[in-house]
Amino acid sequence: EVKLVESGGGLVQAGGSLRLSCAASGFTSNDYAIGWFRQAPGKEREAVSCFSYNDYSTYYADSVKGRFTISRDSAKNTVYLELNSLKPEDTAVYYCAATTLVVVREIWSSWKWYEYWGQGTQVTVSS
């Protein structure tokens, strides 16, 4: 059974940093991509970033580019999302999701391609 567990969320002041972790288990190989999505109250789910396994490409939403960094530790089956220079508008529940599809630029941000989802971790940025 595939399982994704997020951690690392919390309350931080604007300008602060957090590191989110997504620990994956149940995969038989490292051939899966991990995407991060977020959803704020009353808003639609938004793609944040993705780490693609086939060529180690990384993708970012324009709203977080230059502030967030995604990385992967294959030995630990964990993907990290470093959140820097946080803004109040970054407040949301952050979810990691996994897909065994080959992720390319055209599809990384579409949640429908991701087969497995974690339970989410809350990030709150105060002004």
Q: Are strands 68-73 and 58-60 parallel, antiparallel or unpaired?
A: unpaired
pLDDT band at residue 11 under the 50/70/90 scheme? very high
* Spatial distance between the Cα atoms of 36 and 81, rounded to a whole number of angstroms: 8
61-80 pLDDT tens trace: 999 999 999 999 989 999 99
Place of tokens 């993708």: 59
**What angle is formed at CA 106 by the lines to CA 102 and CA 108, rounded to 5 degrees?**
60
- Give CA separation, 40 vs 33, 69, 115, in Å: 23, 20, 21
25-60 pLDDT tens trace: 999 888 899 999 999 999 999 999 999 887 889 999
Q: Are strands 58-60 and 46-51 parallel, antiparallel or unpaired?
A: antiparallel
For residue 13, give the DSSP letter: E
* Mean pLDDT across the chain: 95
